[in-house]
Amino acid sequence: MLSLDDYLREAEIAHGHLCAGQVLGVRLAMLGLEKLGIEDPRGKDRKRLVTFVEIDRCATDAIAVVTGCRLGKRALKFRDWGKMAATFVDLGAKDVSSGKAIRIAAKESSKALARSMHPEIENKNQQQMLAYREMAEDDLFTEQWVKVELPAEEFPGYKGDRIVCAECGEGINFRREVVREGRLLCRACSGERYYEIL
């Protein structure tokens, strides 16, 4: 693995700026990889890891930089829970179906600790950026060993049947179709549409 400073430089380039969320994301991902014993997630260990992120904020970009997990590679999974947390799943465990994983979440108390560590810094982001670099992992994060069930269609590289929606005719991958009244539909045509047709 690279150093904290190296990852922060890469995260800044990938995200467009360096902020407290980037520092949290880099440290969170480094800790997750360390706990799983994954040393080279962007090289020789790149097929061992799936990462679930629980927020669509700055930290997620940093986590992707450190882990090498990307949505397009199907190795980064997004759960919109609004939490500064991520779960790292080791696909290289002896029993892959066991889903050996660790979930790491930022402690809410770390913000107050950052203020007490650096009261001389008025800018909250600058204060947190410095403090988050210095804090002990136990002050910054909670850790939980968890089990994550990953069906075959969630694995990177999965090649499954492509279904055509009976309503709109668009293709559906990865078993995301819905059966309504005996018809195979995409989620939009089944009523889960996030957009409105004009």
Q: Name the pTM for this structure.
A: 0.86
Angle between helix 4-15 and helix 20-36 axes, rounded to 10 deg: 130
Q: Can you give the pLDDT at residue 153?
A: 77
Instruction: Determine contact, residues 53/76, Cβ cutoff 8 Å.
Output: yes
Q: What are phi and psi of 21, to 5 degrees?
A: -65, -35
Q: Can you give the pLDDT at residue 159?
A: 79
Q: What is the DSSP letter of 54?
A: -
Q: Can you give the pLDDT at residue 103?
A: 98
Q: Can you give the pLDDT at residue 197?
A: 86
Q: Can you give the pLDDT at residue 123?
A: 94
Residues 123 and 186 in one domain: no
Residues 44 and 75 in one domain: yes
Residues 58 and 121 in one domain: yes
Q: Can you give the pLDDT at residue 95?
A: 52
What is the maximal distance between C-alpha atoms in the chain?
65
Which parts of the chain have pLDDT scores under 70? 93-99
3-state class of 52 per DSSP? strand
Residues 76 and 172 in one domain: no
Structure token digits, residue 33: 């990889």
Residues 18 and 116 in one domain: yes
| 120 domain residue, yes or no | yes
Q: CA 85, CA 57: separation in Å to the nearest integer?
A: 11
Instruction: Determine contact, residues 52/42, Cβ cutoff 8 Å.
Output: no
> Domain with 90 in it: what CATH number?
3.30.1330.130
Residues 36 and 133 in one domain: yes
Instruction: Determine contact, residues 52/86, Cβ cutoff 8 Å.
Output: yes
Q: Can you give the pLDDT at residue 98?
A: 53
Give the residue numbers spanning the domain of 173.
163-192
Q: Of 98, 45, 82, which is closest to residue 67 (Cα–Cα)?
A: 45
Q: Can you give the pLDDT at residue 115?
A: 94
